[in-house]
Amino acid sequence: MPANLTPQYRAAEERYRAAPTAAAKLEALREMLAVIPKHKGSEKLQADIKRRIARLQDESQRKRPAGGPTPAWVIERMGAGQVPIIGPPNCGKSSLVAALTRAEPRIADYPFTTTQPVPGMMAFEDAQVQLVDTPPVTREHWVEWIPDLLRRADACVLMTDLSLVDPWEPMTDILDMLEGRGVLLGEASSEALIDIQIRTLLVANKSDAAEAEAKLEVVQRMAGDRFPVESISVLHHAGLEALRRSIFATLHVVRVYAKPPGKRSDRRDPFVLPAGSTVLNLAEHIHKEVAQKFRFARLWGRSGVFDGQRVGPEHVVEDGDLVEVHAG
């Protein structure tokens, strides 16, 4: 066994040995991987932990029951995408959800007010995005279902507090703990065993705090190319409109409008598709029979050369395109 194993690692190892279920063992193994010192002397142990994680994951997939009650943290996905907001205590997550949606999460000056996920719908132009307020996360106060919530999500908002002495420190803790549990946020690579990588927007709240500008520069430097960064003040509603656009952009989706042949266009209710979708993908969303009988389409918008251009099924649509599908 390598030297310099930390008390946190040894505590996680004890939890692994005493764990009564496979799920508890998997959680302890991920904690061990997250906190183990990363040096050459621990490489064999890291590889062994990763093998045990992979084996338990395979076993859990094979044994997963088809039915059973739905956990309280499972939120039905609605709108253009589901975006949990993750962050440390009192960074303003609940206030942000209240400001951007009609949800009414509990808001107080003391930490750990939120104990369950609280969804709310954020309007962005003619689309709706589902934001999910979550309990605060620290090394001492870890919420077991947070990684599973993120695995079901379409994107994530990682939130920090510019009034802290070091607003990046809680980000390091959160990222390390999630990575140890198989969830990687943002554009980054990892040596850990990763189940899912999630597009993430970093939001720095309390831009009105003392020395906030200097602290924001530190956050931006530490974020690098991994996360786009938005600076806001929920208290003064500063930067919230730009934030709406950035959250929508993080989803990496496009809004496409369908026009029935011979009828006027209706741009009030777009189809929301993954970026890179084709005209045929749109036809499939309209109705499977429309896709099966697809002949051609006419297109107005950014992806076309001219208005009313005739395109085939493999034409890639862009945000704001209007498509008239001909089938039969």
Instruction: Please tell me the least confidently modeled range out of 2-16, 220-234, 302-316.
Output: 2-16
CA dist., res. 207 & res. 204, Å (int): 7
Do 234 and 96 contact (CB within 8 A), yes or no? yes
Q: How confident is the model at residue 44 (pLDDT cuts 50, 70, 90)?
A: confident
Q: How many beta carbons lie within 10 A of that of residue 191, not counting itself?
A: 11
Q: Give the contacts of 117 (CB within 8 A, at least 6 positions apart).
A: 72, 73, 75, 84, 132, 133, 134, 149
Residue whose C-alpha is closest to residue 50's, from 166, 195, 206, 219: 195
Q: What DSSP line would sit under 191-236, residue for residue?
A: SS--SEEE-EEEEEE-TTSTTHHHHHHHHHHHHTTT--EEE-BTTT
| Domain 82-251 listed as CATH 3.40.50.300 | yes
Identify the pLDDT of residue 20: 74
CA distance readout (Å), 196 to 147, 148, 248, 260: 10, 10, 20, 38
Residue extents of the structural domains in the chain: 7-63, 82-251, 253-327
Asked if the model's pLDDT at residue 58 lies above 80, the reply is: no
User: What pLDDT band is residue 169 in, cutting at 50, 70 and 90?
Assistant: very high
**Class of domain 253-327 (CATH, top level):** alpha beta
Burial degree of 21 (CB within 10 A; 0-12, 13-18, 19+): exposed
Contact 12, 32 (CB under 8 A): yes
**Structure confidence at residue 230 as a pLDDT band (50, 70, 90):** very high
- pLDDT average, residue stretch 166-185: 93
Say what the pLDDT of residue 61 is.
Answer: 54
pLDDT digits (tens, 9 = 90+) for 183-221: 999 998 887 778 889 999 999 999 999 999 999 999 999
Q: How confident is the model at residue 327 (pLDDT cuts 50, 70, 90)?
A: very high
pLDDT digits (tens, 9 = 90+) for 92-150: 999 999 999 988 776 655 555 566 888 999 999 999 999 999 999 988 888 888 999 99
- Apex CA 178: angle with CA 63 and CA 24, to 5°? 40
CA 308 to CA 145: how far, in whole Å?
A: 49
What size, in residues, is the chain?
328
Distance of alpha carbon 86 from its chain centroid, rounded? 9
Question: Which residue, 146, 134, 135, 156, is CA-closest to 178?
Answer: 146
The Cα angle at residue 22 between residues 16 and 23, in degrees rounded to 5? 90
Mean pLDDT of all residues in the chain? Answer: 88
| Both tokens assigned to 292 | 């099966």
Whether this model's pTM surpasses 0.95: no
CB within 8 Å of 220: residues ≥ 6 apart: 229
Percent of the chain with pLDDT over 70: 92
